[in-house]
């Protein structure tokens, strides 16, 4: 298997964590989003949405959407199980994963892209911007790239995005009232879905994860970080990882 991924992408981190939990070997191929490598024809052949990650299983066989990839891996390699055995709990798990994709991801995108991609995109000429936008397959992502290139998100917009992102912590605190993990009595794809967002919140607003505000989430986060797969999946601090990627990119230029 080959995983085409971004080191700082929350969806890529989710799949890397799933692969680590399963102890599955794979070849990781980093995609440089600042260079729009995920909009190249070769990548679009694997993922027509033009976003990371994409999992190449074999010639002409690829998967995209991190939630789909993770469920595929759990079906193909059922041990250790990462989905609840109870059908209702599996449905609750899927609803939660979808909630993070619809509610958390758009706000994290604003915060992360403002740091990681806006400085470079703002330097593009109008002709370069037009050419790059033409390669982006979805209207949503064309708008996001247009914003960071010509109308960077304001401090007020970023503050609002952070407030909305923190709604995830409130939701998790309620879910964890019933058990140690988010759905059912064992670690699942619901927890894996939340980890990339909580990792970033821990850097952006660590107070939100304090024991006096969200004691259950704090305990959950401590338990997650103790799992061997967490270290294997490479959840480096965003700023540190960004600087490292930038140094590597400059050295290869």
**Whole-prediction pTM:** 0.94
Question: What average pLDDT does this structure show over 147-171?
Answer: 97
- Residue 251 is predicted with a pLDDT of 66
- Residue 243 is predicted with a pLDDT of 79
pLDDT digits (tens, 9 = 90+) for 91-138: 999 999 999 999 999 999 999 999 999 999 999 999 999 999 999 999
Q: Residue 20 CA to chain centroid, in angstroms?
A: 15
pLDDT higher than threshold 60 for residue 177: yes
- Residue 152 is predicted with a pLDDT of 94
Q: Which residues pair with 5 in a beta bridge?
A: 30
pLDDT higher than threshold 80 for residue 81: yes
- Residue 128 is predicted with a pLDDT of 96
- Residue 213 is predicted with a pLDDT of 97
Dihedral of alpha carbons 122, 126, 132, 137, sign: positive
pLDDT digits (tens, 9 = 90+) for 190-243: 999 999 999 999 999 999 999 999 999 999 999 999 999 999 998 888 888 777
Q: 3-state SS of the chain?
A: CEEEECCCCHHHHHHHHHHHHHCCCCEEEECCHHHCHHHCHHHHCCCCCCCCCEEEEECCEEEECHHHHHHHHHHHCCCCCCCCCCHHHHHHHHHHHHHHHHHHHHHHHHHHHHHHCHHHHCCCCHHHHHHHHHCCCCHHHHHHHHHHHHCCCCHHHHHHHHHHHCHHHHHHHHHCCCCCCCCCCCCCHHHHHHHHHHHHHHHHCHHHHCCCCCHHHHHHHHHHHCCHHHHHCCCCCHHHHHHHHHHHHHHHC
Question: What average pLDDT does this structure show over 79-101?
Answer: 97
Q: What percent of the chain has pLDDT over 70?
A: 97
Question: What average pLDDT does this structure show over 64-76?
Answer: 98
In this predicted model, which residue has the larger pLDDT, 253 or 71? Answer: 71
Question: What average pLDDT does this structure show over 161-171?
Answer: 98
- Residue 249 is predicted with a pLDDT of 63
* Per-residue tokens: 170: 């409130």
CA 112 – CA 50 distance, rounded (Å):
18
Question: What average pLDDT does this structure show over 143-150?
Answer: 96
CA angle 206, 240, 225 (to 5 degrees): 50
pLDDT higher than threshold 60 for residue 253: no
Average of per-residue pLDDT values in the chain: 95
CA 189 – CA 76 distance, rounded (Å):
14
- Residue 244 is predicted with a pLDDT of 77
Closest-CA residue to 153 (of 118, 125, 201): 118
pLDDT digits (tens, 9 = 90+) for 5-53: 999 999 999 999 999 999 999 999 999 999 999 999 999 999 999 999 9
């Amino acid at each position: 298997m080959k995983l085409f991924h971004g080191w700082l992408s929350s969806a890529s981190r989710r799949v890397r964590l799933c692969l680590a939990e399963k102890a599955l070997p794979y070849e990781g191929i980093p995609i440089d989003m600042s260079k729009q490598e995920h909009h190249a024809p070769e990548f679009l052949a694997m993922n027509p949405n033009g976003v990371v990650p994409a999992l190449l299983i074999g010639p002409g066989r690829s998967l995209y959407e991190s939630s789909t990839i993770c469920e595929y891996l759990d079906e193909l390699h059922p041990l250790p199980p990462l989905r609840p055995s109870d059908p209702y709990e599996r449905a609750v798990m899927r609803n939660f994963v979808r909630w993070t994709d619809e509610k958390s991801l758009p706000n994290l995108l604003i915060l992360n892209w403002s740091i990681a991609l806006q400085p470079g995109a703002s330097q593009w000429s109008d002709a370069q911007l037009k050419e790059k936008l033409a390669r982006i397959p979805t209207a949503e992502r064309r708008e996001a790239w247009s914003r960071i290139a010509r109308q960077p998100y304001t401090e007020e917009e970023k503050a609002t995005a952070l407030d909305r992102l923190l709604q995830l912590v409130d939701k998790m605190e309620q879910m964890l009232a019933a058990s140690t993990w988010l759905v059912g009595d064992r670690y699942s794809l619901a927890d894996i879905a939340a980890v990339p967002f909580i990792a970033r919140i821990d850097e952006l607003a660590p107070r939100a994860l304090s024991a006096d505000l969200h004691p259950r989430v704090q305990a959950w986060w401590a338990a997650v970080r103790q799992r061997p797969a967490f270290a294997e999946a490479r959840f480096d601090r965003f700023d540190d990882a960004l600087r490292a990627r930038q140094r590597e990119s400059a050295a290869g230029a």
